């Protein structure tokens, strides 16, 4: 295993005094220097885990757990207080190696949507999104002609499905359609499979402004007949090192150094649980293209303010992006979907209450960033 250790300078005693009372304690203990710390373009390196409430043993244990569970092609970074606390990878991977991040494209689309609102290109998130995609791809369902940007971001759109908008369903093709509608806020988008998509908009409005190194492009396949398929989606190719910058932008609530990408109010809406009903053990607890850790149901080891996304990238890559505001943490893991021994699928049941893939990893992140809290 290749591994390096980094830490930050910030007191954590108050934030960890009462287990899971993180948000209030963190605000009281907040260090203004940490809030103004950003990669430029590399993450700053600091000397000792103890400075951010971790330990050398916790750092070593986190790397050992990934080596035991992640096979040979994993990579992970953990950012705390704006510093790189952990950076490591298996022998066939590297923290700078780019991979298709799959559905993590969706939080990136949410970021562009927030930018459109901040810039006044969209006056109201409850506008019909299809007003901005001229002569769009038409499904066979009449319900699909009027869907708001909010419904798309909440996954309440039911696009390419017989049900009307208003209830939750994880719908890959609708996220693709939403991307073209969002792009239409910035440029001319028209036709069944538009030449102009969200990739160049995301590059200009997000990637370049936060000094990230991503590959952004579109598949060229047709829209599918089934909602769970993707169609001509946005592709986000990123290393874990660079993907952490997207997480950090959300950790800092849309602010990046001296500029703002999206507003504080949009951030609050985006991390609100718009789908709290989990009856029957079905997929629930979702914000604007983010999973929300309401009542610590998705990730029991994490505080309830944690939110995250996962992606199944081509050909068989799994990526997890986790943000924990009350601990000032961003964590990223990328690996083959199944470890070499076939024992752990990093995104197994990620839309169910068992959450067998992300849940054990998040528990190890918690042990790393707050080892005294159990």
Q: Using CA atoms, how far apart are residues 270 and 253, in angstroms rounded to an integer?
A: 10
- Residue with the larger pLDDT of the pair 1 and 91: 91
What's residue 238's pLDDT? 98
The residue with greater pLDDT, 33 or 272, is: 272
CA distances from 264 to 5, 147, 162, 206 (A): 32, 24, 35, 16
Are the CB atoms for 49 and 55 separated by under 8 Å? Answer: yes
Neighbouring residues of 258: CB distance < 8 A, sequence distance ≥ 6: none
Average pLDDT, whole number, for the chain?
Answer: 89
Domains of the chain: which residue ranges? 2-97+239-255+315-369, 102-236
Q: Residue 339's pLDDT is what?
A: 63
- Return the structure tokens found at 301: 């080891």
Q: Which two tokens stand for residue 3?
A: 């591994």
Give me the pLDDT at residue 259, please: 96
For residue 216, give the nearest of 248, 242, 185 by alpha carbon.
Answer: 242
Give residue 198's pLDDT: 98
Phi, psi of 241 (to 5 degrees): -60, -45
Residue for token pair 């810039």: 119
For residues 368 and 322, give the distance between their C-alpha atoms in angstroms, rounded to a whole number: 14
| Mean predicted confidence (pLDDT) in 63-80 | 94
Closest by Cα among 252, 256, 214, 207 to 235: 214
Give phi and psi for 322, each to the nearest 5: -120, 135
Residue 223 CA to residue 74 CA, distance in Å, equals 32
Lowest mean pLDDT among 30-34, 161-165, 267-271, 286-290: 30-34
- Give the N- to C-terminal CA distance of the chain in Å, as an integer: 27
SS3 of residue 215 by DSSP: strand
Q: Which of 18-27, 65-74, 82-91, 96-105 has the lowest mean pLDDT?
A: 18-27
Q: What 3-state DSSP class applies to 153?
A: helix
pLDDT at residue 46 above 60?
Answer: yes
Q: Which residue has the tokens 């989990």?
A: 278
Strands, E, within 254-355: which ranges?
A: 255-256, 259-260, 291-292, 307-313, 317-324, 329-336
According to DSSP, residue 204 is labeled: I
Q: What is the pLDDT of residue 8?
A: 42
Given a cut of 60, is residue 30 above it in pLDDT? no
14-28, 156-170, 246-260 — which is least confidently predicted?
A: 14-28
Q: Check whether 343 has a pLDDT greater than 80.
A: no
The pLDDT value given to residue 226: 74
Would residue 257 be called left, alpha or beta, if left means φ above 0 and alpha means ψ between -120 and 50 degrees?
Answer: left
Mean pLDDT of 91-100: 96
For 359-369, the pLDDT digits (tens) are: 999 999 999 99
Question: Which residues partner with 311 through β-bridges?
Answer: 319
Tens of pLDDT, residues 225-249: 877 788 899 999 999 999 999 999 9
Greatest mean pLDDT range, 7-11, 112-116, 161-165? 112-116
Look at residues 15, 42, 58 and name the one whose alpha carbon lies nearest to residue 363: 58
Instruction: State the DSSP string of 121-166.
Output: S-S-TTSBGGGGSBS----S-GGGG--BHHHHHHT---TTSSSPSS
23: confidence class by pLDDT, cuts 50, 70, 90:
very low
Mean pLDDT throughout 199-220?
A: 97
Phi then psi dihedrals of residue 320, to 5 deg:
-125, 135
**pLDDT category, 27, cuts 50, 70, 90?**
very low
Q: What is the pLDDT of residue 82?
A: 95
Q: Give the model's pLDDT for residue 281.
A: 60
């Amino acid at each position: 295993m290749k591994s390096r250790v980094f830490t930050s300078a910030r007191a954590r005693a108050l934030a960890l005094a009462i287990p899971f009372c993180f948000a209030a304690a963190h605000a009281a203990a907040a260090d203004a220097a940490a809030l103004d710390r950003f990669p430029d373009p590399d993450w700053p390196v600091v000397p000792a885990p103890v400075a951010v409430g971790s330990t050398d043993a916790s750092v070593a244990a986190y790397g050992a757990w990934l080596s035991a569970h992640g096979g040979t092609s994993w990579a992970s970074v953990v950012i705390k207080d704006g510093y790189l606390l952990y950076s490591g990878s298996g022998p066939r991977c590297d923290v700078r190696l780019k991979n298709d991040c799959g559905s993590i494209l969706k939080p990136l689309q949410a970021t562009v949507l927030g930018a459109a609102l901040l810039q006044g290109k969209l006056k109201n998130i409850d506008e019909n999104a299809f007003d901005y995609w001229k002569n769009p791809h038409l499904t066979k369902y009449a319900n699909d002609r009027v869907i708001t940007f909010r419904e798309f971001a909440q996954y309440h759109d039911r696009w390419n499905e017989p049900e009307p908008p208003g209830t939750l369903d994880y719908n890959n093709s609708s996220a693709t359609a939403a991307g073209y509608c969002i792009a239409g806020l910035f440029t001319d988008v028209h036709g069944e499979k538009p030449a102009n998509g969200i990739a160049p908009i995301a590059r200009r409005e997000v990637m370049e402004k936060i000094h990230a190194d991503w590959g952004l492009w579109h598949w060229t396949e047709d829209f599918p007949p089934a909602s769970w398929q993707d169609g001509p989606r946005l592709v986000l190719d990123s290393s874990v090192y660079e993907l952490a910058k997207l997480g950090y932008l959300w950790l800092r609530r849309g602010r990046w150094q001296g500029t703002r990408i999206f507003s504080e109010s949009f951030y609050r809406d985006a991390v609100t649980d718009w789908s709290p009903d989990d009856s029957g053990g079905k997929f629930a607890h979702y914000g604007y293209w983010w999973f929300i850790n309401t009542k610590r149901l998705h990730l029991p080891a994490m505080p309830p303010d944690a939110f995250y996304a996962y992606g199944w990238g081509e050909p068989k890559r799994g990526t997890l992006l986790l943000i924990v505001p009350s601990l000032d943490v961003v964590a990223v893991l990328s690996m083959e979907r199944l470890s070499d021994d076939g024992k752990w699928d990093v995104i197994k049941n990620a839309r169910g209450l068992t959450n067998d893939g992300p849940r054990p990893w998040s528990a190890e992140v918690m042990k790393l960033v707050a080892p005294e809290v159990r």
